[in-house]
Amino acid sequence: MIRVRDDLRALEGYHSPQVDVDVRLNTNESPFGPPPSFVTALAEAVGSIAWNRYPDRRAERLRAGIAALHGVDAANVFVANGSNEVIQTLLLAYGGPGRTVLTFEPSYQMHAQIARVTGAKVVGWPRSDDFTLDPVSARQAIAEHRPAVAFLTSPNNPTGHADGPDVLDALVADGDTLVVVDEAYAEFGRWSAIERITEDAPIVVLRTFSKTWSMAAARLGYLVGPVEVVRALETAVLPYHLDAVTQVAGELALRHIDEMNERVRLVVEERAEVASGLAVLGCRVVDSSANFILFEPPVAGEDPAGADRVWSGLVQHGVLVRNCSGWPGLAGWLRVTIGTNEENRRFLNALSEVLDER
């Protein structure tokens, strides 16, 4: 009889329910499609791909474009199928059996999930009650557990909170831990750890085209870090893992930086509107540096199932948000992705009605 690994059987997959409703604000995608000129250029480029040939194994043009965007060398850039594949490749190279991976909870669940699937031991160190991370506490986590890899999600998902450079300094202090700063939402925030990348510091930064770049369907993410780390990832990853379409999609997207910045600006503007709308409805709101907001509807304090009922009520009104209430440390909290102006208004109206119906 076939038998899956015992440790794997204990794990559950990470899935946001895909409910078919009008207003989908549950997975932090961009509410805007990419610019039409991008779609036209991509269709044309797909027509001239040499389909009988393997793609460029090193994705030279795409890496050069990303390197130029950040003012680093192409040798400092690793590209993959979403930042999720970057995470997996990092953990194949630096995690694995006998090693410890540190996360700061609550945070993005894929770090712990992929670390476990690739055989490492995972330690989830708690953040403060207000979801910030005290540098002294971060340093203590490193000293106590001596992890091979530590993940810092900043701006954090699902809280939207951004950690400062002082936290990063605390994490790299002993020099034996590879510190992975997951910046899937950095464009919506103010500070980036990319400025700290050098050949000598054990810091890498992850970025994705899934959120800011309106390209979740393409699966493209990347890492910026020391050449030594990029080389290790190239050893661990499958050959020809990034197909020709994804490569060219990334190259073409990089020619639309102005439109991308405009989309970010619109989302940040809407975020302020949604935050004040939530406050007016009596919700507790975490200050967000990302394209979503974590909020606690006023019911939840008295009733642990209150947030679940608000979530279901919203679905009945055709609005899907993320129910974080069952996650450790997040009882009572929901997360809403910032949508278009119309979607946000529909969300706030629906929430108002659901809260009135109680």
Question: Of the two residues 217 and 227, which places its CB atom closer to ligand PLP in the complex?
Answer: 217
Question: Of the two residues 80 and 354, which places its CB atom closer to ligand PLP in the complex?
Answer: 80
**Residue of minimal Cβ distance to ligand PLP:** 82
83 binds ligand PLP (CB under 6 A): yes
Which of 26, 210, 212, 325 binds ligand PLP (CB under 6 A)? It is 210
Which of 89, 208, 246, 323 binds ligand PLP (CB under 6 A)? It is 208
* CA angle in degrees (0–180, nearest 5) for 242-14-283: 120
Site for ligand PLP in 86-105 (CB under 6 A): none
Site track 125-154 with ligand PLP (rule: CB under 6 A), x = hit:
----------------------------x-
- The span of 82-90, 169-177, 243-251, 293-301 binding ligand PLP (CB under 6 A) equals 82-90
Please report, as a single letter, which amino acid is at residue 217.
A
Q: Cβ 211 to ligand PLP, closest distance in Å?
A: 6
Which of 84, 247, 337, 344 binds ligand PLP (CB under 6 A)? It is 84
Q: Cβ 135 to ligand PLP, closest distance in Å?
A: 21
Retrieve residue 346's tokens. Answer: 């529909």
**How far apart (Å, rounded) are the C-alpha atoms in residues 34 and 11?**
35
Q: Cβ 44 to ligand PLP, closest distance in Å?
A: 25
Question: Of the two residues 26 and 84, which places its CB atom closer to ligand PLP in the complex?
Answer: 84
- The span of 206-214, 256-264, 315-323, 349-357 binding ligand PLP (CB under 6 A) equals 206-214
Which of 24, 26, 28, 330 binds ligand PLP (CB under 6 A)? It is 28
Question: Of the two residues 317 and 322, which places its CB atom closer to ligand PLP in the complex?
Answer: 322
Site track 165-184 with ligand PLP (rule: CB under 6 A), x = hit:
-----------------x-x
**How far apart (Å, rounded) are the C-alpha atoms in residues 235 and 261?**
34
Dihedral over Cα of 116, 122, 128, 132: its sign: negative
Q: For the beta carbon of residue 342, count every other beta carbon within 10 angstroms.
A: 10
Q: Cβ 250 to ligand PLP, closest distance in Å?
A: 12
31 binds ligand PLP (CB under 6 A): no
- The span of 12-20, 65-73, 80-88, 249-257 binding ligand PLP (CB under 6 A) equals 80-88
Instruction: Tell me the CA end-to-end span of the chain in Å, nearest whole number.
Output: 52
225 binds ligand PLP (CB under 6 A): no
Q: Cβ 45 to ligand PLP, closest distance in Å?
A: 21
Pairing of the two strands 203-208 and 149-153:
unpaired
157 binds ligand PLP (CB under 6 A): yes
Contacts with ligand PLP, residue ranges (CB under 6 A): 28, 82-84, 108, 153, 157, 182, 184, 208, 210-211, 221
